[in-house]
Amino acid sequence: MMKLKIDGMTCGHCVAAVRDALTDVDGVVQVIDVSRADGTAEIEGNPDSDALVAAVEAEGYTARLAHE
């Protein structure tokens, strides 16, 4: 599982936009969770991390890999 930190999500539409963008990235099996409150997204699969970040940023948010 991969986890992203995402800044700028303020509403349910933001969450849906991020979820849709991540779902379209090659290698994503499932978007497990997108949390506006936590500013995170959890993704199952083996996608390219740069592609995940680029997909989120194309929607107008900032993103980076979360290191737990």
Q: What is the pLDDT of residues 30-61, one digit of tens each?
A: 999 999 999 999 999 999 999 999 999 999 99
pTM: 0.93
Q: What is the pLDDT of residue 68?
A: 57
> Which CATH number applies to 2-65?
3.30.70.100
- Mean predicted confidence (pLDDT) in 4-9: 98
Q: How confident is the model at residue 67 (pLDDT cuts 50, 70, 90)?
A: confident
- For the chain, the helix, strand and coil percentages under 3-state DSSP, each to the nearest 5: 30, 35, 30
Q: Where are the domains of the chain?
A: 2-65
Q: What is the pLDDT of residue 9?
A: 98
Residues 61, 14 contacting (CB under 8 angstroms) = yes
User: Three-class SS of residue 66?
Assistant: coil
- Mean predicted confidence (pLDDT) in 18-26: 98
